[in-house]
A and B are shown apart, each in its own frame.
Chain A
Amino acid sequence: MLNLIVNRLGQSLLVMFGVSALIFFSLHITGDPAALMMPPGSSQQEIDRFRHSMGFDRPLLWQYGHYLSGILHGDFGESLRYSQPVLALIAERLPATALLAVSALAWSSVLGLLLGIVSALRPHGPLDLLCRLLAFSGQAIPVFWLGLLMILLFSLRLQWLPSGGYGTFAALIMPAISLGAFYMSAVARLARASLLEVLQTDYIRTARAKGLSAWRIVVRHGLRNALIPVITVQGMYFASLLGGALVTEIIFSWPGIGRLAIQAIQNRDFPLVQAIVLLAALVFVAINLIIDLLYLALNPRIRL
């Protein structure tokens, strides 16, 4: 067991290393942002002086080594645009994205599970069809489109909710709904499918024959087994959660990491982009690690 954990940790570290190298070199291969950062009207001399002061004219490998050694000291560099340590910037925006992500996951898991359970209890019936339709539409509607439609209806037409901003509960509603829709449907479909499977096993059939209520069966016996694939999927989807958050934050002007990432890319703010990608990779790797361990805990017979 310990061996497995150490092994997975080692793999994760290797992955992080690979990600950092990939991002670093691809960012720097196509040129440096020195000219972009100087105000228009600067002379070539001034641009070159700036380039030299930032170390952009050193060999790439040296720059990468310098970057890595910085990381080991906890220094992820300074944002080229905000002139602040990158970690501080990310730390500032992280709560906003975390709030969004957690809200989205919370409502989508709950509603998804509910829909899945209701569907599985009366499969192929009208209720099942309705739930499946709802779940299906969640996956078919692109995140950004859903967000825009909601803004159209609730902000522009009805003026019930603000079309952007941060700080009030009203501002959280629409972004959380857009972001969570996809996961809600994924959870619902998966819950339904795996519950259906579990409900057909002999073990459950016996319980049913014994006269136990369907609800009790589902909740006490079926769910635990059905949850395994649902949890696994959540892990996989978490990586795309950041991607979905990116677009959602742009649409709703939500001051989170996603919006920061896009601005950083457009401004060629290398240190910031690198740090955000590393962070995203870290989150993904960590979540997958936790999922793997949970997997082990839930079902010790599964080999990793």
Chain B
Amino acid sequence: MKRPALKFATTALLFALLPAAAQAAEITIAQAASATAMDPGFLKESATLVDNIFDTMVRRGDDMSLQPGLATEWKAVDANTWLFTLREGVTFTDGEPVNAEAVKFSLDRILDPNSHAPTISYIRTIKSVEAVGDNQVRITTHGPDPLLPTRMSRYPAYIVPPGYVKKVGDSEFARKPVGSGAYRLEAFVPDEKVVMVANEHYWRGKPAIDRVTWRPIPEATARLTALLTGEVQLVENVPADLVPALKNRPNVVLEQVKGGGLTIYLGLKDAEKPLNDVRVRQALSLALNRPAYTQQLLHGYGTPTGTMAGASDFGYLPVPATVQDVAKAKSLLAEAGYPDGFTLRIQAPRRYIASADVAQAIVQDLSAIGVKAQLEVPEWSVYTQQVAAQKQAPVYMLAWGSTQTLDADAALFPILRSGEPYSTVHDATFDTLLDKSRQTVDAGERKKLLEQVQQRVAEQQPLLPLYREDTLYAHSNALVFKGRVDARIPLYDLRLK
């Protein structure tokens, strides 16, 4: 082949390719934590990434309602049995069909006691999963489980391809996952990046953005700097006190999801004196100036609340936060027999937004009613071990959320039911109400029960809800992005202007 001709040919080819490359829509997203593995059944961290590679039978719409996903409909056949009908014609990106067999395989591998799945607690109510024909699945639960459809909308209930998983094994699958979601994995370099490309055959249609790179940047300043220099187009987890750094930057937009974060509360060990007296607990709650914490320390990105459930949760009761009343607090303490106050040990981690500073402010507020609080700020890994072993201080700050489930049960049961590892409450009424709510399938009945629990929390103060955090994202103004209360980032919904 003549040289000049070859040169011309390659140049022409390059020119032909250029416009195509220029048209590919690509973005980079900066996350706070890095993904360690991508097997949705064995996740140890947030499901933001796998949510885009895999699908669930039930989808969570933009309004947080449950929508058909891989299943077009579902119904409760009886108190303990549910029947899901699957969408036809959906395939995994390796060609395998998404059918009842795949659903059974996906759920069984988590339920199997030999696989030691840490996420089994989210679907432990399931007794068995059977394939009925090619596109129907029957799920039998141990007892009535009103939350079953919700469980099928979140991790670990993502559907995985049986053939592929059996062929490559679990370890390989966690590094090179294959799913039926809007995107498929192109590259996964732990602690460095995850690259996803659009799945052209996605059952909802081809996604608008062709390629997405996720970069873990744990340090907040570095995350924001990457946004400001244009290295990334979307940043999750913007700390409230760095928001001023984003002011006066015309190409950057702050996205606030009100109440999208965790609910911070003060846990109380009600078995210990003087916390066993309800008057003391109420006094402690009355001493706190919650609006000051959210206004000053969280810069307004938090909402004082009187309940652990979130505003979008099923069963949410809008309990107003206790208003500060130092005089009443003091009189309650005197009534309970502590006119001169007492000493108290408090622990608070540094993990949540300004939590150590809030703890400081709490100490100051408590001293105003005569309670001398000794604050300890332990390191997170030390603290979680203590809390899980119930070895923490009598008063301890913790956060709880129901973000993925969006049901009040997830926010209440684990921290109010006696015997649960994270609960330091021993109250028979709570136990009865909570157990009953888990048995009731009727939605209206359940709602009433959950509301009763929250009402009792407001009266008895077994723990002291403080405030609900907002989540903050920041993105380039060339990107159309809406933050969600369930903390997911569905790439399918992103658009470039």
Interface residue ranges, A against B (CB under 8 Å): 31, 33, 35-44, 46-47, 49-50, 53, 81-84, 89, 92-93, 155-156, 159, 162-167, 253, 255, 259-260, 266-268
Contacts and interface: CB of A to CB of B under 8 A. Distances in A.
Nearest to B414: A41
Nearest to B170: A83
A40 B385 contact: no
Contacts of A259: 191
Given A35-B385, A36-B381, A162-B231, A42 B191 contact: no
B269 to A, nearest CB: 17
B422 A41 contact: yes
B432 interface: no
Q: Is the interface of A mostly helix, strand, loop or mixed?
A: loop
B171 A83 contact: yes
Interface stretch (B215-223, B322-330, B453-461): B215-223
A259 to B, nearest CB: 7
B17 interface: no
Given A42-B421, A81-B44, A164 B222 contact: yes
Contacts of A165: 215
Interface stretch (B115-123, B197-205, B246-254): B115-123
Interface in B83-132: 113, 116, 118-122, 124
B389 A35 contact: yes
Given A83-B171, A255-B191, A43 B420 contact: yes
Contact of A46 (B121, B217, B380): B121
Q: Interface residues of B toward A: which range?
A: 35 or more
B116 A83 contact: no
Interface in B386-404: 388-389, 400
B421 A266 contact: no
Contacts of A84: 37, 171, 174-175
Contact of B119 (A39, A83, A162): A39
Nearest to A54: B116
B337 interface: no
Contacts of A81: 36, 44
Contacts of B113: 49
Contact of B219 (A47, A253, A266): A253
B118 A37 contact: yes
A36 B422 CA distance: 12
A163 B226 contact: yes
Contacts of A44: 419-421
Given A36-B388, A43-B420, A47-B388, A159 B229 contact: yes
A93 B190 CA distance: 9
A164 B229 contact: no
Interface string B340-352: 0000000000000
A171 B215 CA distance: 15
Contacts of B410: 41
Given A82-B190, A83-B171, A92-B190, A253 B36 contact: no
Contacts of A167: 192
B225 A35 contact: no
Interface in B149-178: 171, 174-175
A82 B217 contact: no
The 5 closest A-B pairs by CB, nearest first: A35-B388, A255-B191, A82-B36, A42-B121, A41-B414
Given A35-B388, A43-B121, 14 more contacts: A38-B121, A39-B44, A39-B121, A42-B121, A42-B421, A44-B419, A84-B37, A159-B229, A162-B226, A163-B225, A163-B226, A164-B219, A164-B222, A164-B226
B384 interface: yes
B36 A50 contact: no
A253 B218 contact: yes
Contact of A253 (B171, B222, B381): B222
Given A42-B118, A92-B190, A82 B37 contact: yes
A163 B219 CA distance: 10
B467 interface: no
B385 A36 contact: yes
B492 interface: no
A33 B171 CA distance: 21
A266 B225 contact: no
Contact of B421 (A47, A155, A159, A164): A47
A40 B381 contact: no
Contacts of B175: 84
Nearest to B399: A40
B493 to A, nearest CB: 26
28 contacts: A33-B385, A35-B421, A36-B384, A36-B385, A36-B388, A37-B44, A39-B119, A41-B410, A42-B121, A46-B120, A49-B113, A53-B116, A81-B36, A81-B44, A82-B36, A83-B42, A83-B44, A83-B174, A84-B37, A89-B190, A159-B229, A163-B221, A164-B219, A253-B218, A255-B189, A259-B191, A260-B191, A266-B381
Q: Which of A81, A155, A163, A267 has the most CB of B within 10 A?
A: A163
Contacts of A255: 189-192
A163 B422 CA distance: 39
Contacts of A92: 190
Contacts of A43: 121, 420-421
B218 A268 contact: no
A159 B226 CA distance: 10
A93 B219 CA distance: 19
A92 B189 CA distance: 9
Contacts of B221: 163
A89 B37 CA distance: 12
A163 B118 contact: no
A163 B30 CA distance: 13
Contacts of A36: 381, 384-385, 388
Contacts of A46: 120-121, 124
Given A35-B389, A84-B171, A50 B118 contact: yes
B226 A83 contact: no
A232 to B, nearest CB: 35
Nearest to B116: A53
Interface in B61-92: none
Residue from B122, B216, B222, B410 with most neighbouring chain A CB atoms (10 Å): B222
Q: Which one of A33, A159, A165 has the highest number of Cβ atoms from chain B below 10 Å of its Cβ?
A: A165
Given A46-B120, A53-B116, A81-B36, A253 B217 contact: yes
B387 to A, nearest CB: 8
Given A50-B118, A81-B36, A83-B171, A266 B384 contact: no
A266 B384 CA distance: 11
A41 B414 CA distance: 6
B380 A266 contact: yes
B23 to A, nearest CB: 25
B28 to A, nearest CB: 11
A112 to B, nearest CB: 30
Given A47-B421, A166-B192, A255-B192, A268 B381 contact: yes
A50 B116 contact: yes
Contact of A38 (B118, B124, B189): B118
Pick the most buried of A47, A82, A253: most chain B CB atoms within 10 A of its CB.
A253
A41 B422 CA distance: 7
